[in-house]
Amino acid sequence: MSKQYTVAVAGATGAVGVEMLKCLEQRGFPVKHLKLLASKRSIGREMEFAGEKIKIEELTQDSFAGVDIALFSAGASRSREFAASAVAAGAVVIDNSSAFRLDDKVPLVVPEVNPEDVKWHNGIIANPNCTTVLMLVALKPLHDISPIQRIVVSTYQSASGAGAQAMDELVNQTRQYLEGEDLVISILPHQSAFNLFSHNSAIDEASGYCEEELKMVNETRKMLHDPRIRVSATAVRVPVLRAHAEALTFEQVRKVSVEEARQALAKAPGVKLVDDPKANYFPMPLDASDQDEVLVGRLRDDLSSDRGLSLFLCGDQLLKGAALNAVQIAELLIRRG
């Protein structure tokens, strides 16, 4: 592409921000000038991009003059505080937080699922929650064959979803456990190493579901443009560094055969079919880590329904679940002019 863009990354020093820089560079995004923005404590640090060392600047209301695209991954409160300033300066904000996902005036986009929704943005485009991204990349090609009416999903979520400090805590706790030391628990509420526990987001008293589970319900309905889809989610933290896994059972309007589903997934964008029953080889977090695609397998009939299928998937939470999807939205924007 001949045109180049001034890009800002807000939250550049965080786990997702670091991956955003890698994605921009590896995918050859046409960057004319890059601004790296973070909190005051990061001022003076340098990060490398395309062989150049770039100094980190403090994220302020005045950070976005001349910026074309602003990738936000600094948390919901920072997005609410600074996104309007970026839009007022002429930038399009692609926000990785939960701040705007359910705002009726803000499109919620996964390029493989609902690329057409970028057309009606008013300066802000929201990146969905990581679990919803991975789930819908796998389900959209099957939804296109026969509309999905009901989804039951259990997630097995890596430490990266809670940030770089949670990843460090898992590594440190693993070492402490193996060396017989007392485990230090400070970032996540329970021991991460050799343990799993219900997702640590707040429980909604009315429904009994946690915030993470309700995100999957509401975001799925918004992106598939169908408020009638029934979704029940159970979210669990597991001792994995950076790739989420999900077990899905879903019902469709008409029965789709396992072979028909397999053929649709084999040619679907963003999906890699990993489905070898003879070798008992299916998606694993180890294989999904550092990969762009969502790995999908364990395709089988749902024995409890005459219109149901089940599958298992894994995807890199930092990449397709966050940074990569944001950069793909930016690519979609510039392709559409």
Report the catalytic residues: 130, 244
Find all residues with CB under 8 Å of 39, minimum gap 6, and list them: 58, 59, 74
* Dihedral sign computed on CA atoms, order 28, 29, 35, 37: negative
- CA–CA distance, 316 with 303 (Å, rounded to integer): 29
Q: Are strands 230-237 and 197-198 parallel, antiparallel or unpaired?
A: antiparallel
- CA–CA distance, 201 with 274 (Å, rounded to integer): 31
- CA–CA distance, 275 with 88 (Å, rounded to integer): 48
Q: In what order do the strands lie in the sheet with 294-301?
A: 197-198, 230-237, 148-157, 243-252, 308-316, 294-301, 271-273
Residue 154 Cα distances to 113, 132, 237, 248, angstroms: 21, 12, 11, 7
Nearest to 42 by CA among 65, 62, 22, 17: 17
Residue 74 burial (10 A CB sphere; 0-12, 13-18, 19+): buried
Rounded to the nearest angstrom, the gap between the alpha carbon of residue 243 and the centroid of all alpha carbons in its chain is 10
- CA–CA distance, 164 with 16 (Å, rounded to integer): 9
Amino acid at position 201, single letter: S
DSSP 13-28: TSHHHHHHHHHHHHTT
Structure tokens at 197: 């526990």
- Say whether 131 sits in a helix, a strand or coil: helix
